[in-house]
Amino acid sequence: MNQLEQLRQYTIVVADTGDFQSIRSFTPRDSTTNPSLIVKAVQKDTYYSLLEKAVRDNRNKPVETIIDNLLVAFGCEILKIVPGRVSTETDARLSFNTEGSIRKGRDLIALYEAAGVSRERVLIKIASTWEGVQAAKVLEKEGIHCNMTLLFSMPQAIACAEAGVQLISPFVGRIYDWYRKATGQEYTGADDPGVQSVKRIYNYYRKFGYKTEVMGASFRNTSQITELAGCDLLTISPELLGRLAESDAPVSRKLSPETAQSDPVERMSVDEKAFRFQLNEDAMGTEKLSEGIRLFCADTRKLEDMIDKLRQQ
């Protein structure tokens, strides 16, 4: 078996792309999207028609309504290909707005349900700020499941688990990027700080019986992926899926509920004050969360500019 086939024995493989053809090629169970991926996709002729339709059908409505319809259009097309779930992101500008995030999550699910898609097949992506976690807590009680994104630290992970969210997406590659830049060192295999972060979170969740799923994300190389074999899910770009499919190097299970029991970590509880202080103490987590929100906001603005140009035609 190639590495991708071996990985599937231990972990659910998810495609991290808005490219339908790539999703078909690698047959993942689920698929994730984000503003950056959608902006990249709609610049291709293959997907530009989805943007045109969203604008045409909602021309006189607010731009945020057009974007919501575009995101759901992508999600519906993806769900025709994958058997599982699609993740759809809320506007990153709502990252510190609990009520706004709740409203946006409800609006997106309403659009999916109007299109005949069950809410069980959708994960609403929300940034892992304190306000985002509180929004997800409310949405989960309504049966609207959430994927907490831009997650870089243990206090974020603990807050998400205690809120009962469906899934978290710790960003392996962006953690790696920060430490590589900060130290000038190269990290590989089990020494990779991003890999170590996800292992700590996974072991904590499994040791203390949290049901929240852990989905490693934002990979830079296949070593980061294979070191997390056994994680609940891993969302992987088409490029790295291709590399895994081309290699027949052995992949062994690294994470399991059984081995998590031997982790010496002690149980912690995180209220708002502890969350904010502990995250502030973590320079990497603080910087990467802020940077991630800014980047997603910038890509949403790019999408708005594309919509404005179309509406003027």
Residues serving a catalytic function are 125
How long a stretch of residues is the chain?
A: 313
Gyration radius from the chain CA atoms: 19
Name all contacts of 97-103 with Cβ < 8 Å and 24+ positions apart.
Answer: 97/131, 98/131, 98/132, 98/134, 98/135, 98/138, 99/135, 101/126, 101/131, 101/132, 101/135, 101/136, 102/135, 102/138, 102/139
Burial of 259 (0-12, 13-18, 19+ CB in 10 A): middle
Name all contacts of 302-309 with Cβ < 8 Å and 24+ positions apart.
Answer: 302/39, 303/35, 303/38, 303/39, 303/42, 303/67, 303/70, 304/63, 304/67, 306/39, 306/42, 306/51, 307/51, 307/54, 307/55, 307/63, 307/66, 307/67, 308/63
The residue type at 65: T
Distance, CA of 161 to chain centre: 15
Q: Which residues have a Cβ under 8 Å from the Cβ of 119 and sit 6 or more positions away?
A: 109, 112, 113, 143, 144, 145
